[in-house]
Amino acid sequence: MITLRGRLAMRTRLFAGIAAVSVVLAACGGTPATQPSASTGPKADIKVGLAISLTGAANIYGPAQQNGARLAMDQINASGGIDGAKIALVIEDDGSARDQGITVFRKLINEDKVAAILGPTLSGVAAGAHPVAQQAGLPVIAISNTGVGIVGKCDYGTCDWIFRASLGEETALPAALKAAKDKLNLKKVVLMFESDQKFASDGADIFKKAAADNGITIARTIPYKTADVDFSAFVTQAKGESPDAILASGLAGTASKVLIEVGKQFPQGLRVVGSNGFNSPAVITAAGAAAPNMIVGTAWNKASTDKTNVDFVKAFKDKYGADPDQFATQAYTAMNVLADAMKRSGNATDKAALKKALEATKDFATPLGAFSFTPEHDVKQPVFVMTVKDGQFVPFN
Ligand code: 1QQ
């Protein structure tokens, strides 16, 4: 049993841990956010919360998101900020955990008094954290939540303060499965999914519907857990069904394990149609020779020759010495979409005005393409079906 004192001590440690990772970032020369704006002096910074998974099961994605958002902030501030006020990101680690996500959302809203929040990384964390912002009436842009009920019809009721810049699995998975079916004549598949991740179990339901719509039989459904390490028995079970492909809905950590085991047990090759968790170069690196089996629905095509994309990829490479990935690109995009709405709002810290300006976002140029929000606040953008060749995501065609 945990005593009250024990609980308080745990809470203190949790807050201490959070305080230790809390970072406020602004371009050099920015004024402290506490300084009131004076008509004669420089304007106060505009704080924007960034709640992301720097630790925990989704820690592959958080650092990429941080890099994307920071690059956007630096560029926005270097070109005059929001009517002369600089953006200051307040970065918090959601720990890939629902409770910590709720705690950092509360801190960003009540202590930092941010103008808006980007995040959190996982859909399961968003299901707990987004209602905190909804209740406070603070705009949020989801930058990597792909599960169901994030915007539009939300599991927790009204969610009209929440926007989404990340392509939902309801769009990505059917597109990937259809492309795979058309090319590979899929008739029978096995579905594997990470049952303790919301986006992944949502993805399993979406795969089931998409398979039925495409006349594909799911011979067997195999749940696994985020912490599972040995996938040999799961893949042996799948092999027993002689599938034409495997559908796999899970995070990057398990994605590479599934791919490696499929590579071992199907030396002749077997395609794995993956979820959004597969959309990381870390999966390609970890899966090695087995990575090219992957087919995945993606929000971004790195090779797009659109100027906004080309400029972004170059700036990212110049700053970090490596290519961006989908997660960095979505965070960069959301930060720019937010800044654009702040400029149009007339008053970036007026939450209702900011929400209205976000809703009016239309055909805004981003590396994802021309960006608009639907009336349900979801992203409207193309979907790309990709595979892996020579260590890179490339179009599957
Ligand atoms: C979600 C996801 C994850 C794979 C992104 C980090 O799509 O939780 O919605």
Q: Domain ends where: 298, 316, 333? A: 298
Give how many domains the chain has, as a whole number: 2
Distance 5 CA to ligand 1 centre (A): 36
Distance 61 CA to ligand 1 centre (A): 9
Does a structural domain hold residue 55?
yes
Of 377, 383, 374, nearest to 355 by C-alpha is: 377
Q: Which amino acid residue places its CA nearest to atom 8 of ligand 1?
A: 122
Which residues contact residue 344 at a Cβ distance below 8 angstroms, ignoring those fewer than 6 apart?
357, 360
Does a structural domain hold residue 100?
yes
Distance 342 CA to ligand 1 centre (A): 27
Give the three-state DSSP class for 380.
strand
Whether residues 162 and 258 share a domain: the answer is: no
Residue-wise pLDDT for 313-364, tens only, equals 999 999 999 999 999 999 999 999 999 999 999 999 999 999 999 999 999 9
Q: Domain ends where: 261, 276, 298? A: 298
DSSP 282-318: HHHHHHGGGGGGEEEEES--TT---HHHHHHHHHHHH
Does a structural domain hold residue 19?
no
Which residues contact residue 346 at a Cβ distance below 8 angstroms, ignoring those fewer than 6 apart?
353
Distance CA 50, CA 116 (A): 9
Q: Which atom of ligand 1 is nearest to the CA of 144?
A: 5
The reported pLDDT for the residue numbered 397 is 85
Does a structural domain hold residue 109?
yes
Tens of pLDDT along the chain (397 residues)?
343 344 434 443 444 444 445 667 664 444 444 444 445 578 999 999 999 999 999 999 999 999 999 999 999 999 999 999 999 999 999 999 999 999 999 999 999 999 999 999 999 999 999 999 999 999 999 999 999 999 999 989 999 999 999 999 999 999 999 999 999 999 999 999 999 999 999 999 999 999 999 999 999 999 999 999 999 999 999 999 999 999 999 999 999 999 999 999 999 999 999 999 999 999 999 999 999 999 999 999 999 999 999 999 999 999 999 999 999 999 999 999 999 999 999 999 999 999 999 999 999 999 999 999 999 999 999 999 999 999 999 999 8
Distance CA 173, CA 249 (A): 9
Whether residues 180 and 94 share a domain: the answer is: no
Domain that holds residue 356: 46-167+304-382
Whether residues 158 and 184 share a domain: the answer is: no
Specify whether the CB–CB gap between 175 and 297 falls below 8 A. yes
Distance CA 283, CA 111 (A): 37
Of 120, 134, 122, 130, nearest to 50 by C-alpha is: 120
Distance 126 CA to ligand 1 centre (A): 10
Whether residues 293 and 309 share a domain: the answer is: no
The reported pLDDT for the residue numbered 42 is 85
Give the three-state DSSP class for 230.
coil
Whether residues 123 and 139 share a domain: the answer is: yes
326: number of Cβ within 10 Å: 27
The reported pLDDT for the residue numbered 204 is 98
Q: Domain ends where: 298, 324, 351? A: 298
Q: Which residues line ligand 1 (CB under 6 A)?
A: 58, 61, 121-123, 144-147, 199, 251, 276-277
Of 212, 287, 203, nearest to 247 by C-alpha is: 203
Q: Which atom of ligand 1 is nearest to the CA of 58?
A: 6
Q: Please state the φ and ψ torsions of residue 278, each to the nearest 5 degrees.
A: -80, -10
Does a structural domain hold residue 189?
yes
- Provide the token pair at 314: 């170059």
Using the CB atoms, write b or e for 79-89: b if 16+ within 10 Å: eebbeebbbbb
Does a structural domain hold residue 16?
no
Specify whether the CB–CB gap between 255 and 228 falls below 8 A. no
The reported pLDDT for the residue numbered 283 is 98
Does a structural domain hold residue 75?
yes
The reported pLDDT for the residue numbered 155 is 83
Distance 219 CA to ligand 1 centre (A): 26
Which residues contact residue 251 at a Cβ distance below 8 angstroms, ignoring those fewer than 6 apart?
57, 58, 60, 194, 197, 200, 226, 277
- Provide the token pair at 199: 């986006």
Whether residues 162 and 309 share a domain: the answer is: yes
CATH number for the domain harbouring residue 190: 3.40.50.2300
Whether residues 141 and 175 share a domain: the answer is: no
DSSP 161-173: TEEE-S--HHHHH
Strand order, beta sheet including 379-380: 364-366, 369-373, 379-380
Of 254, 246, 322, 261, nearest to 283 by C-alpha is: 254
Whether residues 345 and 237 share a domain: the answer is: no
Residue-wise pLDDT for 4-62, tens only, equals 344 434 443 444 444 445 667 664 444 444 444 445 578 999 999 999 999 999 999 99
Whether residues 237 and 339 share a domain: the answer is: no
Whether residues 175 and 292 share a domain: the answer is: yes
Strand order, beta sheet including 162-164: 23-26, 87-93, 46-52, 116-118, 140-142, 162-164
Q: Which atom of ligand 1 is nearest to the CA of 53?
A: 6
Whether residues 212 and 286 share a domain: the answer is: yes
Strand order, beta sheet including 217-224: 217-224, 188-194, 245-249, 272-274, 294-298, 384-389, 392-395
DSSP 46-57: EEEEEEE-SSST
- Provide the token pair at 391: 């260590």
| Backbone region of residue 81 per phi and psi (left: phi > 0; alpha: psi in -120 to 50; beta: other values) | left
Does a structural domain hold residue 342?
yes
Specify whether the CB–CB gap between 315 and 342 falls below 8 A. no
Whether residues 245 and 144 share a domain: the answer is: no
The reported pLDDT for the residue numbered 22 is 61
